[in-house]
Amino acid sequence: MRFSLLRWRNGTRQPTRMNPKTILITGATDGIGKQSALELARQGHHIVVHGRNETRAKQVVADIQRATKNPRVEFVLADFAALGDVRTLADTIRQHYPRLDILINNAGVFMPSRTLTRDGYEMTFQVNHLAHFLLTNRLVEKIKSSAPARILHVSSGLHRGGNIEWDNLQGEKQYSGYDAYARSKLANVLFAYALAEKLGNAQVTSNALHPGVIRTKLLRAGWGGGNDLSRGAETIVYCATAPELESVTGRFFDNKRETASSSLSHDKNLQRAFWDRSAQWVGLAES
């Protein structure tokens, strides 16, 4: 698959009162990801929009630049249903960007029926969790070298309905779109907490968040209803930029406030076991 790193210079950079950051947002050509990219570009940050369709990505970059007058908006391409694409994406970011201050793991899908990726994993589990696990681990040294830095994991309040059944993680025995989604969102929180512990005093924070029940393509596929996109971006933008969160790590946020995640997500043994299994699945050495 061909990857693009195109710089679109269609406007004049506006002065910003903030120290601009380089921010990669996965799944940013639609929904909450796109809205977050727009809001962060409006603040003057250097935005890297991830998508899987080049035509769509080009249009989103042009739209954001036109709306914000910020020329430092670019795109990268990768299909998260292919782990090879994720590895190439990480290599591209490492090679072409001097720093990565903020990684926002936002891409997600809801699959009503069980579908396997070309890697042999259930689609929801791979796109929502495994791809981000692999991408983050392959970028973590770049992020650490940019410290102080932040990693955000866009989860959902539905993680509280998730459970880990080792013999049914891929829906091998029984599949429900809701269960698969809730399990993947629990995986996001487990990963966020385990990563926070592993990062230690590296001056890189790792937090999970619930963006709210927002009217997106994903929500329409599963439930319908929801609030508008600007509400969905609020907590993401807050967690990415709030000065008071610079050293806050291993937490869960909802509506721009720290809140309790499920008791299962705090199980240290489960966090470590899930990390080890995830590393095996994506071909990473356990660290």
Each residue of 48-67: pLDDT tens digit? 999 999 999 999 999 999 99
> In the predicted model, is pLDDT for residue 47 greater than 70?
yes
Q: Is 181 an active-site residue?
A: yes
Closest Cα to residue 181, out of 227, 143, 124? 124
- Residue-level pLDDT at 232: 79
Interaxial angle between packed helices 268-282 and 131-145, expressed in degrees from 0 to 180 and rounded to the nearest 10? 100
Nearest-angstrom CA–CA distance, 73 and 64: 8
Question: For 103-160, how does the pLDDT look when each residue is reduced to its tens digit (9 = 90+)?
Answer: 999 999 999 999 999 999 999 999 999 999 999 999 999 999 999 999 999 999 999 9
pLDDT band at 221 (very low <50, low <70, confident <90, very high): very low
19 conformational bin, left if phi > 0, alpha if psi -120 to 50, beta if neither = beta
- Please, are residues 49 and 78 in contact by the beta-carbon 8 Å criterion? no
**In degrees, to the nearest 5, what angle opens at C-alpha 162 toward C-alphas 159 and 167?**
145
Catalytic residue among 175, 181, 193, 238: 181
Sign of CA dihedral 201, 150, 239, 189: negative
Of the candidates 65, 55, 78, the residue with the CA atom closest to the CA atom of residue 12: 65
Q: What was the pLDDT predicted at 212?
A: 75
